[in-house]
Amino acid sequence: MAADNSSQVLTDSLANSSPRRILIVLLGSIGDIVRALPLLGRLRRTYPGAHIAWAVEPKSKSILEGHRWLDELIVYERDDAPWSVLRFLRQVRRARFDLVVDLQRHFKSGMITWVSGARERVGFARENAKELNRLFSNRHIAPQPSMRLKLLQYQAFADTLKLAPGPIEFGLGPAPEELTFARELLASAPAPRLGIILGSSWPSRLYFPDAVAAVARQAARTAAGVPGLHPVLLGGPAEARFAAEVGACAPDLPLLNLVGKTSLRGLGAIFAQCAVAFGPDSGPMHIAAAVGCPVVSLWGSTAPERSAPWGFAQFALKAEIPCHPCYLRRCPIGRECMRRIEPQAVVGAVRQALKEKLASTCAPMV
């Protein structure tokens, strides 16, 4: 009962005095960062004059750099640990935040939240938190179904804080210079284009080079009134070999290989000029959806019920196999779940996504 009273006091306190300095703690994956941006938007709309910072690791910071809703990045240089830990925590403490939102639910994020000294520290409920994370917050959102979309779980923080309602927005519109660079890269690939996402942070999520090539080949053909799509390979330097294998499987196709040629931020501008994209569960998949590019997503070790790209869950494909979803980073049976996703099924979803886009826009694709 005392805990309930304490929570009510904190709620009333926040309602009566708007926070001036807010910290979002979400260090990790690109996909998680993207899905938390609508929460950032609601914080900004509710507290337009507040200073809002985000604690993040280097691998994902480029998504947030220069974001119009954000005032500051506090970067945890993980590669320099343990020397960087105290420096990072000291920076958090000195910022004197009065509201901290812990979206990561682990011990590390909980420690950051507690060290901040903020009077209001909001985290996940006991049922959803890990590694004693719950102990570092003094307010908690309602328990979340484990298979609820992560984006909606983050929105539960906004509801708990009674933030102003609003549309799901990401604020990732490409800058003019990013669009110009993207157009230069895509100059040899006429519209409409198919963005092909090759990589993922988990090896178990990857599709196969021969299957990717088969999708690209079939999607390049005009069929049933749907125009053919020019295939564009996308990924970081780590996907260079994968891209080469796709090319070897489809030597006859005019593939545009942009692997290793785009920044994380630049991907948004590329996807904004693609008619459709497809690929496995990954950060770029969420970037594509965030800029409005329809995404056909492929699911094996992870579940679309929890992580489908916002607005395009209807194009999520998974094979029927008893071990799905296993949430293993490495598959002991050769990614059979991904192998069972037939290229023809992917092509069918790509064409359906393109049809719906054409019907909704009735405008030429760039």
The residue extents of the domains of the chain are: 2-160, 177-361
DSSP annotation string for 27-77: -S-HHHHHHHHHHHHHHHHH-TTSEEEEEE-HHHHHHHTT-TT--EEEE--
Q: What integer pLDDT is reported at residue 362 of this predicted model?
A: 54
Residue that the structure tokens 């296993």 belong to: 326
- Sorted by sequence, the CB contacts under 8 Å of residue 172 that are 6+ apart come out as 34, 37, 63, 67, 268, 287, 290, 291
Give the bridge partners for 59, in sequence order. none
Q: What is the pLDDT of residue 348?
A: 97
One fold for both 2-160 and 177-361? Answer: yes
Above 80 in pLDDT, residue 344?
yes
- Residue 309's nearest CA partner among 352, 276, 354, 263 is 276
77-96: average pLDDT: 89
Measured CA to CA, the distance from residue 169 to residue 163 in angstroms comes to 15
For residue range 127-152, what is the model confidence (pLDDT) as tens digits? Answer: 999 999 999 999 999 999 999 999 99
- What pLDDT score does 5 carry? 45
The larger pLDDT score, comparing residue 13 to residue 192, is at: 192
Q: Does the structure show a pLDDT above 90 at 39?
A: yes
Rounding to the nearest 10 degrees, give the CA dihedral for residues 103, 106, 108, 114: 60
pLDDT of residue 223: 87
pLDDT bin (cut points 50, 70, 90) of residue 363 is very low
Would you place residue 6 in the very low, low, confident or very high pLDDT band (cuts 50, 70, 90)? very low
pLDDT tens digit sequence for 161-185: 999 999 999 999 888 999 999 999 9
Residue 366 pLDDT > 90: no
Written as six digits, the tokens of 281 are 């569960």
Please state, rounded to an integer, the average pLDDT across all residues of the chain. Answer: 93
Specify the pLDDT at position 3: 39
User: What is the reported pLDDT for 303?
Assistant: 97
Q: Percentage of the chain with pLDDT > 70?
A: 94
80/307: higher pLDDT:
307
Q: Are strands 256-257 and 276-280 parallel, antiparallel or unpaired?
A: unpaired
356 vs 87, 100, 195, 296, CA distance in Å?
A: 50, 40, 17, 13
Q: At a CB cut-off of 8 Å and minimum separation 6, what does 314 contact?
A: none
The per-residue pLDDT for 113 is 97
pTM of the model: 0.92
Name the superfamily (CATH) of residues 177-361: Glycogen Phosphorylase B; (3.40.50.2000)
CATH 3.40.50.2000 for domain 2-160: yes
Spell out where 207-286 has E strands: 230-234, 256-257, 276-280
